[in-house]
Structure 1
Amino acid sequence: MDNKKKRVLDAISHRQTDLVPWNFELTPGAVENIKRLAGCEDAFAYLENHMLRAKYKKNTRLENGNEKDLFGVTWMASKDGGDVGIIAEYPLEEDELGDYRFPEIDKEFASGICDQLEADHGEHFTMFSITMGFFERSWSLRGMENIMIDMCINESFTFQLYEKILDHHLELLDTVLDRDFDAVYFGDDWGQQRGSIMGPNMWRKYIKPGFKEMFEKVKSKGKKIVLHSCGDIEEFFPELIHMGLDVYNTVQPEIYDLKKIKREYGKDLTFYGGISTQQFLPFASADEVKEKTREILDIMFRDGGYILSPTHTATPDIPAENLVAMIEAAKNYR
């Protein structure tokens, strides 16, 4: 087993590692910045990432330049190099399924993703990724305002919608979980700057049961679980731990008290993130980044349970030098 994968597994097992494992995800513009800085062709190899994530995501390019995803949601292309698109057309404009049909699993595409992960031959910690997971998938189909209203006044439809999304995801998991990769990565934003978007009661009513079932299926195959949610979801940490969550991303220092969450949840959760893309990395100097990285490692690295990373996919406004500075600080940290 390569040291990169072993470091991640040791971190998840809350064992102290020689170096903190790190991982950087980049938008296309950030990739080009790294390649120019380093004079290389493979930005991710240059950054020496410890993890490899492959997404079950396949969009079809439309004539007007927009893209349609597997669920029939139409997205406008991002013009600023960001990693979050804007929805141009919601398939479920009314609170009924009507003629809408959920997509069949693209088994050939899913198998190709697994092939890609298996071709890594154990060098990295490998993750099969379900993007726009559950709550995100519901609002991508209905619109954020509509799904929030649905949760409050249209219980029957909301349960029906989440049941259909869950059935799709369970079938996808059945398709891939016997393949050789390390974890399933679920992307599903629940948080805002202060607290959760839908509140704890709605989360427990509509979101938690489906994730509990998906987590159980993943764990039954001996794989780890990584959950990405932006924002403040600390109120859900105890329940997520009980459900079997291994790794939580992303850990935004402008939101969380890092010392507190490390002290209270660090024996059970591995935290992945910690260096702010919102308020720090685009504006800091490389020396300031090194200092900040050391500060975060002082808090988060002890006894494992930490993966160093920017708090979100790096965008082109973050100087490439700052990403390299994080790695240099990690390598020199003792």
Structure 2
Amino acid sequence: MGKFMETAAHRDYSKWWQKEGTWPAMFQMAKPPITGRPYSVKENYIRCVKGEEPYWMPAYFTESNIIWPDAMEEHPVPEEDGYDWWGVNWQMVDSVGGMITKPGTRTISDFANWKEELEWPDLSLVDFKADGAKIQQNLDPDRVHIYECVEGLFERLHEMIPFDESLVAFYEEPELLAEFFEKMADYKIESCSKIFEYYGRVDGVLYHDDWGTQRSGFFSNEMFDEQIMPETSRFLKFVKDQGKFIELHSCGKNIQYVPEMIEMGIDMWNPQLFINEPDLLHSKYGKQMTFAFPLTIEHGWGEEEIRKATRDFVDHFGENGRVMAFIMTDMSDPKQGEIAHDELYNYSLEYYNKLYGRK
């Protein structure tokens, strides 16, 4: 057992590890209850994810609880400069508010040697039970519960060796790469099984795997179909077979892979903001997949401007019942968010009552 896995095996997960103000800590905090709704917030969210005639347009993130385990050490714990249980060296970049692998990080000498050199986490040594009991304390039973499954199959590959070497492996070691993805999918299945067993009700999984740049995907569709899709599909099928819905977080301009996303059973994609054309996604795929699009409230807007922008958003994207509003406001003015959330709920409730012939 490697030293990083040994640390995880002896960590006391009954205590809270993340530092106040970090993304994991914010995900783990209890959210105020949502009151005054005639139907379950959870059930309405799931209706939208699955395209089953929601009662109102959900406010993305606001109406869900994120399950972010301390005991799944895909990042350093706490999330600051340090190592995960794979031995990957991470560093916090304050300007973007997130972690990246430290330049030059290498956990194996060469991809061709991964079978001999890579130490796989032994999940049987980790106290998921204590962590699960702790995390459940802050989960709102009326919200949907979503497991944040970070570091997907491709991401984990390029975190272990330099990014360019990861791409070279697609060309020079396709059979060895297929074996790597197979074993990584096995690991993802095992880790999700632990979450489903110890963290209470889990309604969905938010799977992270970045597949593109600001201009296009990393791979041709043929390469994606042949090398990314098979084991990703097998992992996602396991999740769906457990009765969970699947959201995808995949940064990059990845519109080209939407047909593959749909084929793999992904219910919802949260496309990277401002580079994936919402109108194109909505018009071409809006009946087959749910999307979370930004509803941007500009600095200095007053109440009427905020309410009008919110109504316009619902009118524009509401027709299929498969869009959530990711409300983005001036963080220095909390009142903006209150107004936008109020208008989104009340106007979209009326909108969907008319659309679906409800009284």
Query: TM-score, normalised to structure 1's length?
Result: 0.77
- Residue 104 (structure 1) aligned with residue 125 (structure 2): no
Q: CA deviation at 1:238?
A: 2.0
2:65 to 38, 44, 52: 52
Larger radius of gyration: 2
Contact kept, 8 Å, 1:117 with 1:181, in 2: the verdict is: no
**Cα displacement (A) at 1:114:** 4.4
Partner in structure 2 of residue 138 of structure 1: 157
2:266 equivalent to 1:250: no
1:197-238 alpha-carbon deviations (Å, 9 max, x no partner): 122222212211111101111111111111111222222222
Residue matched to 1:23: 60
Output the CA distance in 2 between the equivalents of 1:117 and 1:204.
37
Q: 1:241 to 1:113 in 2, by over 3 A?
A: farther
Equivalent pair of 1:118/1:180 in contact (CA under 8 Å): no
Cα RMSD of the aligned pairs, angstroms, is 3.1
Q: What is the aligned partner in structure 1 of residue 190 from structure 2?
A: 171
Q: Is the 8 A contact 2:47 2:54 kept in 1?
A: yes
Residue of structure 1 in register with 2:5 after alignment: none
Could you tell me which of 306, 323, 330 is aligned with 2:323? Answer: 306
Partner in structure 1 of residue 139 of structure 2: 120
- 2:281 & 2:217 partners in 1: Cα distance? 16
Give matches, 1:73-84, under 5 Å: 73-80=88-95, 82-84=97-99
1:86 to partner: Cα distance: 4.1
In structure 2, relative to structure 1, the CA distance for the partners of 1:192 and 1:333 (3 Å cut) is farther
Partner-residue secondary structure (3-state), 1:196: coil
Q: Residues of 2 paired with 1:3 and 1:203: CA distance? A: 38
What are the Cα deviations for residues 58-110 of structure 1, in whole angstroms up to 9, with x where unaligned?
34469xx7211122111112233612434242313422223221112267454
Q: Which residue of the partner structure matches residue 90 of structure 1?
A: 106
Q: Deviations over 1:119-153 (max 9, x none)?
A: 63631111112101111111111121110111122
Pick closer, same or farther for the CA change 1:230–1:60 going to 2, 3 Å.
Answer: closer
Q: For residue 296 of structure 1, what is the aligned residue in structure 2?
A: 313
2:51 to 7, 10, 14: 14
Q: How many residues align?
A: 298
In 2, the alpha carbon distance for the partners of 1:106 and 1:309 equals: 38
Q: Which runs of 5+ in 2 are unaligned?
A: 1-37, 349-359
d(CA) in 2 for partners of 1:296, 1:191? 27
Quote the offset at 1:172 in angstroms.
1.4
**Structure 1 residue 8, shift from structure 2 partner:** 0.2
Deviates more, 1:320-329 or 1:145-154: 320-329
Q: Secondary structure at the residue paired with 1:250?
A: coil
SS at match of 1:85: strand
Q: Is 1:152 matched up with 2:168?
A: no
Q: Aligned in 2, Cα 1:158/1:125: closer, same or farther, shift over 3 Å? A: same
Return the match for 2:232 from 175, 200, 211. Answer: 211
* Alignment gaps of 5+ in structure 1: 25-48
Alpha carbons of structure 1 residues 23 and 268: separation in structure 2 relative to 1, 3 Å: same
Distance 1:61 1:10 in 2: 35
Q: Is the 8 A contact 2:89 2:102 kept in 1?
A: yes
Residue 189 (structure 1) shift: 0.9
One-letter amino acid matched to 1:237: V
**What amino acid does structure 2 have at the position aligned with 1:301?**
G
Taking the aligned partners of 1:332 and 1:3, their CA distance within structure 2 comes to 15
More displaced stretch, 226-235 vs 93-102: 93-102
Contact 1:2–1:124 (8 Å) recurs in 2? no
Distance 2:293 2:320 in 1: 17
Whole-angstrom distance in 2 between the partners of 1:215 and 1:159? 17
Q: Give 3-state SS (helix, strand or coil) of 2:157's partner.
A: helix
What is the CA distance between 1:3 and its match in structure 2?
2.6
Asked whether the equivalents of residues 52 and 117 of structure 1 are also in contact (C-alpha less than 8 Å), the reply is no
- For the residue of structure 2 that corresponds to 1:123, the secondary structure is coil
- AA matched with 2:48: A
With over 3 angstroms needed to count, the CA separation of the structure-2 counterparts of 1:210 and 1:90, relative to structure 1, is same
Q: Which of these residues, 191, 197, 207, is aligned with residue 186 of structure 1?
A: 207
One-letter identity of the residue aligned with 1:266? G
Percent sequence identity is: 19
Question: Which of residues 272, 278, 292 in structure 2 aligns to 1:272?
Answer: 292
What is the CA-CA distance between 1:266 and the residue it aligns to?
1.7
For residue 243 of structure 1, report the CA deviation from its aligned partner: 2.0
Q: Mean Cα displacement is larger for which, 203-212 or 176-185?
A: 176-185
Residues in 2 aligned to 1:162 and 1:319: alpha-carbon distance in whole angstroms? 44
Partner of 2:17: none
Shift of 1:331: 3.6
